[in-house]
Structure 1
Amino acid sequence: MVDPQVFLNMGREVLAQQAFSQLLGAELSALAPGRAELQLALREQLKQQNGFAHGGVISYLADNALTYAGGTAMQVPVVTSEFKINYLRPGLGERLIARAEAVHVSKTQAVCRCEVYAVADGAEKLCALAQGTIVKLG
């Protein structure tokens, strides 16, 4: 079994190779087989005209967290095959947190779910739910 900190560091190395993730400022805060947590400081540049987190930013977090959860559960290189997202309330606050877990895993795919929270004054509020299919690459 891999040391949890070594596992997290490996995941962070993968994130560092994703130029878009770096542009947004995403941080991998937790990683374990079948589970992942990504966070993002909610800067003005990531908001839409009403001051909410842009839906594309919330969607990015969900997609990447789902892929980390599925990839670590399957332990092979993966990509997202599909996902859907339900926006529940505006993402308002200082930070977004996406927590994903693998729900069902086979040799070729993992079905995962993700909850995205907006953090304001230390309180988390659920702002989106996502589910996706993560598939083995190649």
Structure 2
Amino acid sequence: MKRIQCSAAEVNQKEPLLAYCLRKLTDCTWFAELLKPKSCGKFNRAITFKERRGLIKTMTVASDILRELETLSSEELNQVSHVIRALKGPKKELHYTGRLLGIGFEENGEMSMKLGMQNANTYDVAQGGALYTLADVSIGFHIMTKIPKESQVYTLEMKMNYISPGKGKKLYAKPAIIHLGKSTVVSECRIIDEKDHTVAIALGTFFLKNDRQVKASTWSEVRSSRQQSLKNEKVY
């Protein structure tokens, strides 16, 4: 998408930045520039109908978002920023759900969860489901440090006892393996606050998928895909 370019003289000092961006997005002259022929490699071509429709949809959504942003408080804007950071975070380190809840790694490798709007309940303390996810993710990553890299970990079942409200800036997960077998692991996790008070305790059973099972599963998916492709070729 074309960048919005402006000079200091062009922006009214009294006009909020969000209002300026919104005006730019709704400027027909500027929007028309997006629909003109543009360079594509060594060739110039007119924008396709599909691309035009996509641009219009994108601009409409962006315009709606900017309108909503103007009505938000500073706290709410910080929350929007948190969601954007979660969306753009590396999936290899931690999945989106975890990042969105504020879960991350400490310098010592343990996991913690920043408390805020993203994981607060009606009473403004840590929501039970967020605590459950913190324990589940923490145990999973802890197990992965004890098994071959090719293996995978899946939650079979897990229960959690909630002991005290989760308050403060951060909560910390303290996982511990009780039993490590060939195909299953039993592990617990203690969730504590910054004062080392126990907030919740989880106990769960996890399934280990070894290297052979992972490869077999992958091959099964490939074979199913090929079979489906052959069926589609016969139909057409």
* TM-score, shorter chain, exceeding 0.5: yes
Q: State the alpha-carbon separation in 2 of the partners of residues 71 and 132 from structure 1.
A: 15
Number of aligned pairs?
118
Is structure 2 residue 177 aligned with structure 1 residue 130?
no
Larger Rg: 2
* 1:69 shift after superposition: 2.1
> Partners of 2:91 and 2:180 in 1: how far apart?
24
2:101 aligned to which of 12, 24, 27? 24
TM, length-normalised to structure 2: 0.47
The CA deviation string for residues 73-129 of structure 1, in whole angstroms up to 9 with x for no partner, is 23321111111100001111111111101111111111111000122xxx2211000
Q: Select between 86-95 and 38-47 the one with higher mean Cα deviation.
A: 38-47
The yes-or-no answer on 1:38 pairing with 2:111 is yes
Point out the structure with the larger strand share.
Answer: 1
Return the letter of the residue paired with 1:52: V
Task: Name the CA distance, whole Å, in 1 between partners of 2:118 and 2:143.
Answer: 29
Identity %: 27
Distance change (3 Å), C-alpha of 1:23 and 1:13: closer
- Structure with more helix by fraction: 2
- The TM-score with structure 1 as length reference comes to 0.77
Which residue pairs with 1:64 in the alignment? 137
Distance 2:181 2:92 in 1: 23
Q: Tell me how far 1:15 sits from its aligned partner.
A: 3.0
- Give unmatched runs, 5+ long, in structure 2: 1-89, 214-236
Equivalent residues in 2 for 1:84-123 (5 A)?
Answer: 84-119=159-194, 123=195
Find the partner of 2:126 among 53, 66, 70. Answer: 53
CA distance in 2, matches of 1:15, 1:79: 17
Of structures 1 and 2, the one scoring higher in RCO (CA 8 A, sep 6+) is 1
CA RMSD of aligned residues (A): 1.8
User: What is the deviation of 1:13?
Assistant: 6.9
